Amino acid sequence: MLRRISSLTKNPFKHVVQDLNLPTSLQYFSLTALQDSRVLELPYCIRVLLESSVRNCDEFSIKGTDVENILDWQNKSKLDVEIPFKPARVVLQDFTGVPAVVDLAAMRDATVKLGKNPGLINPLCPVDLVIDHSVQVDASRTPDALRTNEEMEFRRNRDRFEFLKWGQNAFKNLQIVPPGSGIVHQVNLEYLARGVFNEDGLLYPDSLVGTDSHTTMINGLGIVGWGVGGIEAEAVMLGQPISMVLPQVIGFKLTGKLPEEVTSTDLVLTITQMLRKKGVVGKFVEFFGEGCRKLSLADKATVANMAPEYGATMGFFPADDQTLKYLEQTGRDPEKIQYISAYLKAQGLFRDYSGIDPKYSDIMELDLSEVQPCIAGPKRPQDKISLSLAKQNFKSCLTSPVGFKGFGLKSASNPQTLTYKGQEYAINHGSVVIAAITSCTNTSNPDVMLAAGVLAKNAVEKGLKVKPYIKTSLSPGSGVVSKYLEAAGVLPFLNELGFYHAGYGCMTCIGNSGDLDPEVIDAITKGDLVAAAVLSGNRNFEGRVNPFTRANYLASPPLVVAYALAGRMDIDFEKEPLGNVNGTDVFLRDVWPSRKEMQNLTNSVIKPQMFKEIYGRIAQGTDKWNQLQAPTGEMYNWTENTYIHNPPYFQSLTHDLPSIPDITDAYCLLKLGDSITTDHISPAGNIGKTSPAARFLQEKGVSQSDFNTYGARRGNDEVMKRGTFANIRLINQLVEKPGPTTVHFPTEQEMSVFDASEEYRKNNQNLIVLAGKEYGSGSSRDWAAKGTLLLGIRAVIAESYERIHRSNLIGMGVLPLQFKEGENAESLGLTGKEKFTINLKGGDIKVKEEISVKTDKGTEFQVVARIDTDVEVEYFKNGGILPYVLRKLCA
C-alpha cells in the first residue's frame, strides 16, 4: 500500500483515481475522469497507452506533455511524435531468455567494477521465462518420441537449464516455466495473462513486451503487447520505459462469417497477404466490426499471432464477451474475472460492437465469407496461395527464376528411387518429407487441432496411410491440448498416421525439426530435389525448417495431415484423390470435417478443470527440473562452458561516455538484396559441420552429435558471432553461390563471413553492410544485432528496415542508415567493392538526420540515420541501450 500511495503523491493526475463499484475496495485511474471528449474517439489499443501514461506520470520519465500527445493521437500520430510506454510485465522464451539473463549477470559484474551494489541489477516488473525452444524432433513416428526427445533436450541443454535455474534464484521477479510445459505464447494466453493487474488494490490493464515477435498472440485476449529484442526487454526489466513513436492505427473491419470448409489458418494467411500489400510496418492494426463477434477467442489469437508476418507491431482485438468467456473456460479465478469485467467496462476498454467506432488512421475491410482455403509459401509467410491453385503454383515455382517464389530449375521433374526399410518409393520435386503440426499459431486453437484429429480418424477409417519416410510430428502448445485430443478420442488415429506426440515446444517451426533419415537425404541430394515441408507454423523462411527442404509451406493442422497423406505438393485436392483403397478413390472432401462440427466438438470436450490441472503443476516444477543442481549466489561464477560465456559488452565499461569514431575507409562485408530476415543474419537451426562455429566447438572438445543448434547456444557469444550470416541460403551478391561466404577484398579471397571479418579485424578495418528493402524481417532476434556488432560491422545501409531489428541495431550501437526514397545500391552504382567513409559527429546524430556517405570511387550520396527518437540518440552515444541503462543506474 505504501508503494501505491507514494506513486500517487508524485502523480499530477492523482485526481482521476476513482473507486470501482464492487464490494471489494478497488481503485483505478479513470480515463473518463480526464473529462476529455477525445478519449472515446481513440482506438482501444491507444487507450491502453493513454492509461499507462496517466498512471505512471511523474513529470520525469513520463510527463504531462506525453499524456497530451496521446490524447491528441489523431494529429500527433501523423507527425512521428515520440512517447514513453511502461509495460506491466515482460515475457521471455529460452532462446532469447538465456542471453538476457547472461547480460544481467554480466551487468552485475560491471556494476561491482564501477563500485556499486550488484543488487541494482534486478527486474523491477514481473518477468516470466518459458523454456520452449530447446526440444527437437530427434525421435518421431514412435510411441517413445516424447520421452526420447525430452531426455535428449535435458542432456543437451543441462548447462543452459542450470544457468537459468541460478537466475531464478539470483534475481527477484523472475519466474521460470520449466521445459515440457508448452509454447511461451500459448502458456501466456492460457495461464500467464493477468487481463487486469491488481497491485495493492490499484487496478490497471495487463500489458507486456516479449522477446519473441509472436508475443502479439496475446492481442487476441484484448491485451496490448508486442515483440521486442532481448536488449530492449532487459532495459524494460530494469525500469526503463520503452521509447516509441506514437503509432498510426489501421482499423481492419471484419464482416460476415467464415464458410464451413474454412479454418482460422486460412483467415490469417489471407489477412497477412492483405496487410503486407498495404504496408503496415511500425503501425498498430485494430480489428473491429460485427465479424469479430463471429470469431472465437482462439481464432482472434491466431490472427493476432501473425502480426510480425503481416508487418504490424500489433494485431489487436479489444476485450469483449469472448474474452470473459475464455477466462472462465481456462479456469481463471471467478473473483478476478469479476473485477476484470467491471474494470474494462468502467474504463472504456470493453467492446460490445454497438455504438460509434473509434477513429482510425486508415480502414481496410474483409468479408469473412469470401475467405478460401489456402496455404502460404514456398519461402515466405505472406505469399498466400489458394488451395485450388496450389498444384500449378508449385510447378511454376520450380522453373521460375530464383527468387521469393522461384527455384530456377531446368525441369519440373527429376524422379528418384528411395529405398526405405526394404521398400522402394518414387520421390521427386515436391515430395513431402516433413509434415509437422507445430507452433503457437495453430496449436492454441482447439478448432483446428481437433479438425486435424477428426480428419486423421476419418482417413484411418477409410484405410489411408502416410508413407513411412515422411517425418511426421505433433508438438502441442500446452498439456491442455493433449488432454482435449485424448478426450475427443482422436489421438490413436493421429498416432496411426505417424503424428505421435514429439514434445511441448516450437520444434519444427523454430528449425528444431531434427535430422531426416539418411536414405531420404541421399535421394534428395542425388536428384538435387526441391523437397517439401508442410507445417502449421508461422515461419517458412529459406533454410529455417530443415537444410534439405527447399520448399516450405504453412498450412492449417488438418491440411498438414492431408498433405502427409498425399505425400506431395503437386496435388489438386479437388480433382485428385489422397489415395486409393481397394480400388476406391478417397478425396479430401470425403474426410474433411466442417467448421461447425469442430466448434461443437470443442465446446463439448474442453473443460476448465483441464487448465487448472495442467497449470497447477508449473509452480511445483517437473521432476527433471527439480533434480537440476544449479549454482547459488548473487554473482554468477563464469566457468569454461560452450553454452554460457561472459559477453564482452560491459567488460571495459566506464562511467564516461565512449568516443564514437567516424567510419573511415570501411569495406563492405556483404551486399544483400530485399527481405533479408533475421534467420539469414542469425540462424537458429543446425550448426553446419564445416562452419566456423563447428570448428570452434570441435576445438573445445564438442563432438558433432552434441553441437545442438545456434538457438540453444545463444548464451555463448563466441559461438554466435561465428554463426552470424551463417545461413546456407543467404544470397550475398559479392559471391556467385548462395551460402555464408564473402570476399575479403584486400586479398580477393573468398572465405566464410566470419573468417573475412577476422581478417579485417586484425588490420583494424571498419565494415559496413549494404542491403535492400525490409532488412531484418522476421523474429525479434537480438543476436542478429549482437552478432553484427561482434563481426566489426559499424553500420548497415538498407532501403528499409523491419521495426524490431532496426531498434536492436541501435541497441547494440550499430548505426542503421537508410537510402533516400527512390535510391538504392544499384541506382547509385554501388558494387560493394568500394571503401566507404561516414562522418558520425562523435555520435551526436539528430533524429532522422541526413548524413553524407563517400566512397573511394568518387561516389557521394545522402542517407537517413534511422535513429527515430531522442532516447535512441542517447543509446547510440552510449554505445547501446544496456550501457546507457547501466551508466544511469550507477550514476
Going from N- to C-terminal start, the domains of the chain cover 374-593, 663-890
Helix (H) or strand (E) holding 14: none
Whole-number Å distance between alpha carbons of 286 and 316: 5
Residue 4 has what pLDDT?
A: 53
Q: Convert the pLDDT of each residue in 829-885 to its tens digit.
A: 999 999 999 999 888 899 999 999 999 999 999 999 999 888 899 999 999 999 999
pLDDT for residue 749 is more than 90: yes
Whole-number Å distance between alpha carbons of 381 and 393: 15
CA distances from 645 to 105, 135, 758 (A): 10, 22, 20
Residue 60 has what pLDDT?
A: 81
Cell of 732: 550475398
Q: Convert the pLDDT of each residue in 13-39 to its tens digit.
A: 999 999 998 988 999 999 999 999 999
Q: What is the mean pLDDT of the chain?
A: 94
pLDDT for residue 456 is more than 60: yes
Q: How much is the average pLDDT of 455-482?
A: 97
In single-letter form, the type of residue at position 522 comes to D
What is the DSSP secondary structure assignment for residue 473, as one 8-state letter? E
Whole-number Å distance between alpha carbons of 138 and 148: 8
Residue 618 has what pLDDT?
A: 82
pLDDT band at 589 (very low <50, low <70, confident <90, very high): very high
Contacts with 232 (C-beta within 8 Å, 6 or more apart), sequence order: 209, 242, 807, 808, 811, 881
Residue 825 has what pLDDT?
A: 97
C-beta separation of 831 from 734 below 8 A? no
Whole-number Å distance between alpha carbons of 85 and 207: 10
Contacts with 619 (C-beta within 8 Å, 6 or more apart), sequence order: none
Residue 599 has what pLDDT?
A: 87
Q: Where are the beta strands (DSSP E) in 387-469?
A: 416-420, 423-427, 432-437
C-beta separation of 286 from 249 below 8 A? yes
Starting from the edge strand earliest in sequence, which strands make up the sheet with 174-177, in order?
174-177, 127-130, 89-93, 207-210, 224-227
Tell me whether residue 452 is exposed, middle or buried, using C-beta atoms within 10 angstroms of its C-beta: 0 to 12, 13 to 18, 19 or more: buried
C-beta separation of 292 from 262 below 8 A? no
What residues form DSSP beta bridges with 209?
A: 90, 226
Residue 7 has what pLDDT?
A: 59
C-beta separation of 834 from 856 below 8 A? yes
Residue 496 has what pLDDT?
A: 98
CA distances from 32 to 39, 159, 421 (A): 7, 52, 70
Whole-number Å distance between alpha carbons of 452 and 561: 7
Tell me which residue of 257, 276, 530 sits closest to 394, measured CA to CA.
Answer: 530
Q: Convert the pLDDT of each residue in 229-258 to its tens digit.
A: 888 899 999 999 998 899 999 999 999 999
Residue 690 has what pLDDT?
A: 93
pLDDT for residue 2 is more than 70: no
Q: Where are the beta strands (DSSP E) in 672-720?
A: none
**In CATH, which superfamily holds the domain spanning 374-593?**
Aconitase, domain 3 (3.30.499.10)
Q: How much is the average pLDDT of 177-182?
A: 93
Tell me which residue of 834, 720, 840 sits closest to 788, measured CA to CA.
Answer: 720
CA distances from 178 to 175, 339, 411 (A): 9, 30, 49
> Which H, E and C letters describe 558-601, residue by residue?
HHHHHHHHHCECCCCCCCCCCEEECCEEECHHHCCCCHHHHHHH
Whole-number Å distance between alpha carbons of 711 and 767: 25
C-beta separation of 578 from 459 below 8 A? yes
In single-letter form, the type of residue at position 382 comes to Q
C-beta separation of 366 from 253 below 8 A? yes
Three-class DSSP category at 504: coil
Contacts with 85 (C-beta within 8 Å, 6 or more apart), sequence order: 49, 52, 53, 241, 242, 244
Helices within 723-778 (DSSP H only): 753-762
Q: How much is the average pLDDT of 590-613?
A: 92
Three-class DSSP category at 816: strand
Whole-number Å distance between alpha carbons of 756 and 745: 9
C-beta separation of 321 from 344 below 8 A? no
What is the DSSP annotation of 276-308? HHH--TT-EEEEESGGGGGS-HHHHHHHHHTHH
Helices within 89-238 (DSSP H only): 94-113, 145-170, 184-187, 230-237
Q: Convert the pLDDT of each residue in 675-729 to its tens digit.
A: 999 999 999 888 999 999 999 999 999 999 899 889 889 999 999 999 999 999 8
CA distances from 89 to 202, 227, 340, 872 (A): 16, 12, 17, 22
Q: Convert the pLDDT of each residue in 114-150 to its tens digit.
A: 999 999 999 999 999 999 988 999 999 999 999 999 9
Give 757's Cβ-side CA count (13 Å radius): 25
Helices within 708-802 (DSSP H only): 717-722, 753-762, 783-790
CA distances from 856 to 335, 767, 827, 832 (A): 70, 14, 17, 11
Cis check for the bond before 683: say yes or no (omega within 30 of 0): no
Q: Convert the pLDDT of each residue in 792-824 to its tens digit.
A: 999 999 999 988 899 999 999 999 999 999 999
Site of grid cell 533475421:
678
Residue 621 has what pLDDT?
A: 79
- Share above pLDDT 70 across residues of the chain, in percent, rounded to a whole number: 99
pLDDT band at 596 (very low <50, low <70, confident <90, very high): confident
Residue 641 backbone phi and psi in degrees, to 5: -155, 130
Q: How much is the average pLDDT of 61-81?
A: 95
Q: Where are the beta strands (DSSP E) in 696-763?
A: 741-744, 749-752
Q: Strands 27-29 and 202-205: what pairing?
A: parallel
Whole-number Å distance between alpha carbons of 549 and 535: 12
Range 663-890 has CATH code 1.10.357.10: no
Residue 192 backbone phi and psi in degrees, to 5: -75, -30
Q: How much is the average pLDDT of 652-663?
A: 92
Residue 620 has what pLDDT?
A: 79
Whole-number Å distance between alpha carbons of 551 and 558: 19
Whole-number Å distance between alpha carbons of 444 and 515: 26
Residue 1 has what pLDDT?
A: 41
Q: How much is the average pLDDT of 61-86?
A: 94
Whole-number Å distance between alpha carbons of 281 and 302: 19
Residue 278 has what pLDDT?
A: 96
Three-class DSSP category at 667: strand
Contacts with 60 (C-beta within 8 Å, 6 or more apart), sequence order: none
Cell of 153: 533436450
**What spatial distance separates the first Cα and last Cα of the chain, rounded to whole Å?**
29
CA distances from 639 to 101, 119, 163 (A): 16, 22, 11
Give buried/exposed letters for 148-159 (b at 16+ CB in 10 A, else e).
bbbebbbebbeb
Tell me which residue of 710, 711, 724 sits closest to 753, measured CA to CA.
Answer: 724
